[in-house]
Amino acid sequence: MRFIATACSFTGHRPHKFPWKDHETDPRCTALKSTLAEQIAALTAAGVTDYYSGGADGTDCYAAEVVLSLRKKNPALKLHCVLPCKEQAEKWDATAQKRYYSILQRADSVTYVSQKYYDGCMIDRNHRLVESAGLLLAVYNGVRRSGTGATVNYARKMGREIIIIDPLTRAVTHEGGGV
């Protein structure tokens, strides 16, 4: 497998899009998190050192936590949070907010597309994530009319290498980048 960059961005669904919702102890969720961790570990072994997360609840936070865990043994790893606006997590439940702010506190960098929410700031965040890395790791169920689907399609348009994990089957597919 050949990677075109040493940076990887994440995209994926929020908990309400998964059959298990926010029940992270569900075996399907723990299996998905294991697959995600395996893929990030493989990318790290292949030389990826910079990871970009949009900080959204669900996949973005799962992936960020994997990077932070791997960074304990490999301090060369960097987690960069690219967020749509400062109030992204304001309406989340207390558990999700605690996770989010813990990730931000431990991230190597935190940048905001905007200080305040505006219509389109999430899309602008997703574009910035794709533009920040040569590789996109997506937990994606194939639904085109979703933020994740739009991000995957933007990565295709930009010629990025894409690794897709199906959230239900955990099948891993590769697109672009000479893979």
Phi, psi values for residue 7, rounded to 5°: -125, 140
- 34, two tokens: 């294991």
- For the segment 9-33, what is each residue's pLDDT rounded down to a tens digit? 999 998 888 899 999 999 999 999 9
- 50, two tokens: 């910079």
Helix, strand or coil for residue 39?
Answer: helix
Helix axes 59-71, 94-106, angle to 10 degrees: 40
pLDDT computed for residue 2 by the predictor: 44
CA dihedral 136, 138, 142, 143 (to 10 degrees): -100
Global confidence as pTM: 0.94
Helix, strand or coil for residue 106?
Answer: helix
- Residue 92 near residue 55, CB atoms below 8 Å: no
Give the pLDDT band (50/70/90) at residue 179: very low
Calpha distance 85→107 (Å, rounded): 16
